[in-house]
Amino acid sequence: DMGKEGEIFPNIIENQEYDDYRQMFVKAVSAMNTYCQSRNISFYLMFDPNKISIYTEFIPDGINYDSSWVDEFLNALTESGVTVVDNYHYFKSIKDEVRLYNVKEDVTHWNDIGAFYGCNLVLKTISEDYPAVTENKLEDFEVTEEFAKYLQNSTIVINETIPKIKVPVSWSEVVSREREALQTDTLFANFLHVRSDLAEAADLPKILSFEGSYMFGGDHHNMLICQSREYIAVHNYRNVLNLPYYVNIFQPEIVIFDVAEFVIAEYFFSYDVMKTINYPVSLTEFGYPYEEKEMGNVNVSSFIDTYEQIYIDIGNTDYENAYVISGDKTYDLTVQDEVYYLITLRENLENYPTLRFVFPDPDAEKCYYQDYYPEGSDW
């Protein structure tokens, strides 16, 4: 849609409300936060606004656009204990100082300057928990301009000069075949896993980021990667609702859920799936004494030279919660084909000779456990 002074907006939809769907979305995010916190993982909800919500003064006359539902939504998240990276209000406060979205080119997303400021707010928030993390400085990046003759995916002439930021790459992609085996949604399968090449990155956190086009587009996640020692990016839509699966695989210290204002919708995040979220509680919540017990048969197998697949068949799946302890890490067992199983990266287990399977029993007020010692060079 054409706005005032030549501004272009994506199709302007009717005003939204903080309705039952969005309230369910808040409950789902709150469950993610609780799950992460119970495992000493910091969780951040990164909210990125639509261009129209920031540059409302350019909306065509006769359109009464109202995004006040966002205030209710963000307030509800904060009240539920979620740490919110609020680019909505932040962008409103700085929009007269810097141009965060292009006038005409790709107005569905922020431009590189918007990405810089939006990612810096994430880093500023993270730095409160991880002091080694610092905000980026523009002078450390290569800032240029690019001429766009045509509107994106069209022959409409716009002749617009747009900002471009290039982040110096100081990391390497992890050599593996992870992407082939990840159970990501087939429509949303973007994935990246990199590690820093810099020795000074050792004090920086390991980040698992669920993100969409605001971050994958233009490789804008590079502005966060440079403040991590290891960074895993997973396409967020639908996949983030399966949070424990990814945490068990990647064992992050930080989880970022980056969500744009316009994708909080049924197509991307199913109401029915969010309604049925029942993430496993942490093993630390069970204060029962441990008792060794022969629980069942264990099977360990590798696939695509990257993952370990671990099964224990105890003859039933009556235990609501089950876990594997390996070294200083605890993994959630889930039920598949009537057995308890775990999938994790092979490298997570290579330095630990023992697996301890733990089954809390509230009736007996005990944690039954069985130790397993892999034979030979299983990993």
Do 228 and 201 contact (CB within 8 A), yes or no?
Answer: yes
**pLDDT tier for residue 376 given thresholds of 50, 70 and 90:** low
324: pLDDT strictly greater than 80: yes
Token pair for residue 363? 């009736």
Instruction: Give Cβ neighbours of residue 8 (< 8 Å, ≥ 6 apart).
Output: 1, 2, 103, 104, 107, 151
Integer Cα distance of 74 and 281 in angstroms: 25
SS3 303: strand
Q: CA–CA distance from 214 to each of 14, 112, 161, 233 (Å)?
A: 22, 10, 20, 12
69-79 vs 20-37: helix crossing angle, rounded to 10: 30
Q: What integer is the mean pLDDT of 299-327? A: 93
Q: What is the reported pLDDT for 305?
A: 79
Smallest CA-to-CA distance from 173 within 157, 192, 148, 188 is with: 192
152: pLDDT strictly greater than 70: yes
Token pair for residue 355? 């697996």
Instruction: Give Cβ neighbours of residue 6 (< 8 Å, ≥ 6 apart).
Output: 103, 104
Token pair for residue 119? 């990612």
**pLDDT tier for residue 1 given thresholds of 50, 70 and 90:** low
Quick one: what percent of the chain has pLDDT higher than 90?
79
The DSSP-derived string for 307-318 is EEEEEEE-S---
Q: What integer is the mean pLDDT of 76-96? A: 98
Higher pLDDT, 119 or 150: 119
Token pair for residue 297? 């048969």
Q: What is the reported pLDDT for 167?
A: 97
Q: How many helices (H) and strands (E) does the chain have?
A: 11, 18
82 Rama class: left (phi>0) / alpha (psi -120 to 50) / beta: beta
Sign of CA dihedral 170, 200, 163, 112: positive
Q: What is the reported pLDDT for 63?
A: 84
101: pLDDT strictly greater than 90: yes
CA atoms within 13 A on the CB side of 153: 3
Integer Cα distance of 372 and 330 in angstroms: 15
The DSSP-derived string for 26-59 is HHHHHHHHHHHHTTT-EEEEEEE--HHHH-GGGS
In whole angstroms, how large is the CA radius of gyration of the chain?
A: 23
Q: What is the reported pLDDT for 85?
A: 98
How long a stretch of residues is the chain? Answer: 379
pLDDT in tens, 157-190: 778 789 999 999 999 999 677 777 888 998 999 9
Do 295 and 359 contact (CB within 8 A), yes or no?
Answer: yes
Q: CA–CA distance from 54 to each of 101, 143, 164, 318, 343 (Å)?
A: 9, 23, 21, 52, 43
Helical segments of 256-311, H only: 271-275
Give the count of beta carbons closer than 10 Å to the beta carbon of residue 295: 20
pTM for the full model? 0.94
